Structure 1
């Protein structure tokens, strides 16, 4: 009399099961279908509210900026016009007092000493300028 042992040497038992059990997948899909069927009608019966209608126009505030250039010899240009070293601080203070406060765009020649650029930046900070941008030329441009 042969007994069926749980660990037998039959060739059929050693083969791997290569079928996908679809029952859990079908169960999940049915649950999702029921959830969507319940929630979609609730979303369509939303409360109708008559919203007020107003006419407004966006505030047209152009971004103000001040161009300060530093030439290779250290001379300062304010919006393209050459100025003396002593008038830079006064002009920066006047620009910082404007509302809205403009952005300072710094154009520095590549041959200018960094000390001169740092001096202009410190004067701008002391005057109250909070936004400073550095303008450069893209590479490959003549």
Structure 2
């Protein structure tokens, strides 16, 4: 409580005493600090044991490139046409059903050519295809 010296003016005191407010806030902070570690309980389970596995690193994605003139390359080897590309991709898909294709297309290539190559990849049965770009 705040006490005011007696004076001639016995009006209401208009000052707020913040000491009790600070005391209450400090108590709440201490309660929070004590109870917070108790609230983070983990579920105690016994996990099953399994054999260690390794990722299939041998399965590198195929690098399919289209340069500015529209020349198609597969793993840096030129491909004659879309029919030859499809047969090569089907052979790769037959060897590995999880094969992926990374498409490197020059920015000057006409979109029609890129769409044709994408359709050829899809017709070969390959569903995993990604576009490779360069950050600006």
Instruction: Please show how residues 6-85 of structure 1 align to structure 2 within 5 Å.
Output: 10=9, 12-21=11-20, 24-25=24-25, 28=28, 56-62=51-57, 63-85=59-81
In structure 2, the gaps of 5 or more residues are 1-8
Aligned in 2, Cα 1:112/1:57: closer, same or farther, shift over 3 Å?
same
Quote how far apart the aligned CAs of 1:124 are: 1.2
2:92 is the alignment partner of 1:95: yes
1:28/1:94 Cα in 2 relative to 1: closer, same or farther (>3 Å)? same
After superposition, the CA RMSD in angstroms is 3.6
Residue 28 of structure 1 and its aligned partner are, at CA, apart by 4.7
In structure 2, distance between residues paired with 1:34 and 1:88: 67
Cα distance in 1 for residues equivalent to 2:34 and 2:68: 75
Shift of 1:120: 0.4
What number of residue pairs does the alignment pair up? Answer: 120
Please state whether the residue corresponding to 1:95 is helix, strand or coil: helix
Measure, in 2, the Cα distance between the counterparts of 1:136 and 1:50: 45
Q: Secondary structure at the residue paired with 2:117? A: helix
* Structure 1 residue 130, shift from structure 2 partner: 1.8
Distance 1:24 1:89, change over 3 A: same
Larger Rg: 1
Q: TM-score by structure 1 length?
A: 0.61
Give the Cα–Cα distance (whole angstroms) in 1 for the partners of residues 54 and 73 of structure 2.
32
What is the CA distance between 1:29 and its match in structure 2? 6.5
Unaligned runs of 5+ in 1: 1-9
TM-score normalised over the length of structure 2: 0.63
Per the alignment, in what secondary structure is the counterpart of residue 107 of structure 1?
strand
